[in-house]
Amino acid sequence: MDVSIAPSAVAGDARAPPSKSYTHRAILAAGYSEAATVADALVSADTRATMRSVEAFGGAVDRAGSTIEVRGFDGRPEIPNDVIDCANSGTTMRLVTGCASLGAGLTVLTGDDSLRSRPHGPLLDAIAQLDGRAESTRGNGQAPLVVGGNVQGGEVSIPGDVSSQFITALLMAGAVTESGIDIDLETELKSAPYVDITVEVLADFGVEVERTDAGFAVPGGQSYRAEGGTYHVPGDFSSMSYLLAAGAVAGDEGVTVHGARPSAQGDSAIVSILERMGADVEWNQAEGTIDVSRTALSGVEVDVGDTPDLLPTVATLGAIADGDTRIVNCEHVRYKETDRVSAMAEELGKMGASVTEEHDTLTIHGSETDLVGADVDGRHDHRIVMSLAVAGLVAEGRTTIKGGEHVDVSFPGFFDVLDGLGATVERS
């Protein structure tokens, strides 16, 4: 689907979807339990992949709107009857790989072309350290994966700078092993707030995690039990970032974003980033609302080591701001659904942005940029699509984004929300 955006002012109230990160973890945590309800969930292409995985391991999933009823496998995953297709969801594949390592038999996991190009080697090696079986069928650390071995726990050493999802997978699986898992981080942990999210969700399911000098430890023999039988998913700050950015660059009369209650999400840093850039933004944490309106922005330096999903949003803001916006510590952002560093450099470049791309740094020269409408490629990546849509609000002329349907991965209805705020949106 192609989506065209014309220069537009936006105003009014909007609500970002529930958190994708929390929803993934909550669905799988419910699967590890005997039974649980996940309320206010994000139902998207990615989270459906996690639901299918729970069912493949012997659970049952019933959904009514944003409420998901899960009958879990109570810490003892069955061996799936068929291959688990994780589609485009890297979170699903990595979290489910940990679960598959508990099985006495073997589970085969695969996904689409993009997912089969993403690295999983450190997680496979960690499972092997636990005497499990974890192999890439092509021997390159990429899916398809074959995983099993009835892991009982132990100690692992793993780099922390490839994907925090590896740590999450081990923590979630380790809680139901016999002896638990001690994780020794070989390098600094990147995207640390995502592990904080995991620890928060596990605590809400009654699972204890310990932070150690070496990294993390999760005692074995634990049971997943949601307090009161229900877990409520908070709003998603990654998705919220596009609405806040839209308000900051095109909200002449202001935009109010709802569902912004504090949580462990690192991407809530978008509020402080906007403040540093000079945006007119106010966060009422008690009410869970953020008000933002258009004002002149100035370039800043942003370290995305802990917030990789914000890179596309910040890059777009940088193209509209005065001065240089330097996005640093971003090498790991190259290993998402696409190489988001190069993707944003190239697609914003098509719109007239002056950009300097280095291996670990992306600099957008706002003072040398006048955005113009162009035909751009969303790269089959929901975050690239939504960020380019924000750029289209202020570019001179019409911007047409290829692959607009990919917003369904994390923000189904994104273009409806944008349209409701007054943007000129056409789909074909």
When pLDDT is cut at 50, 70 and 90, the band that residue 129 belongs to is very high
Our measurement of the distance from residue 1's CA atom to the centroid of its chain's CA atoms, rounded to an integer in Å, reads 22
Q: The whole model's pTM is what? A: 0.82
Residues 292 and 246: beta-carbon distance below 8 Å: no
287 and 160 belong to one structural domain: no
DSSP single-letter state for residue 372: B
Q: What is the CATH number of the domain that holds 213?
A: 3.65.10.10
419 and 380 belong to one structural domain: yes
Does 20 count as an annotated binding residue? yes
292 and 256 belong to one structural domain: yes
Does 402 count as an annotated binding residue? no
Does 133 count as an annotated binding residue? no
240 and 280 belong to one structural domain: yes
Read off the tokens for 70: 């899960």
Over range 266-274, report the average pLDDT: 97
**Number of domains present in the structure of the chain:** 2
245 and 101 belong to one structural domain: no
Boundary of a domain, candidates 232, 267, 301: 232
Of the candidates 201, 262, 208, which has an alpha carbon nearest to the alpha carbon of residue 226? 201
pLDDT tens, 36-67? 999 999 999 999 999 999 999 999 999 999 99
Over range 133-156, report the average pLDDT: 97
Boundary of a domain, candidates 232, 260, 294: 232
CA distances from 296 to 12, 241, 245 (A): 20, 18, 12
Task: Examine the pLDDT at 209 and tell me if it is beyond 90.
Answer: yes
Between vectors from CA 402 to CA 401 and to CA 404, what angle results, nearest 5°? 80
**How many helices and strands, by DSSP H and E, does the chain display?**
12, 24
309 and 268 belong to one structural domain: yes
Over range 248-273, report the average pLDDT: 95
254 and 291 belong to one structural domain: yes
Of the candidates 337, 308, 265, which has an alpha carbon nearest to the alpha carbon of residue 90? 337
Contacts (Cβ under 8 Å, ≥6 apart) of 16:
235, 236, 237, 239, 240, 243, 257, 258, 259, 260, 411
What pLDDT is recorded for position 16?
A: 86
What pLDDT is recorded for position 33?
A: 98
Residue 239 structural domain: 2-17+235-427
393 and 298 belong to one structural domain: yes
Does 238 count as an annotated binding residue? no
171 and 315 belong to one structural domain: no
pLDDT tens, 296-333? 999 999 999 999 999 999 999 999 999 999 999 999 99
198 and 97 belong to one structural domain: yes
The per-residue pLDDT of the chain, averaged, comes to 97
339 and 396 belong to one structural domain: yes
Boundary of a domain, candidates 232, 249, 269: 232
Catalytic residue among 236, 267, 309, 381: 309
The percent of residues above 70 in pLDDT, for the chain, comes to 100
Task: Examine the pLDDT at 353 and tell me if it is beyond 90.
Answer: yes
Convert 212-247 to b/e letters by CB count within 10 Å (16 or more is b). Answer: eeebbbbbeebebbbeeeebebbbbbbbbbbbbbbb
What pLDDT is recorded for position 102?
A: 98
The answer to whether 309 is a known catalytic residue is yes
12 and 35 belong to one structural domain: no
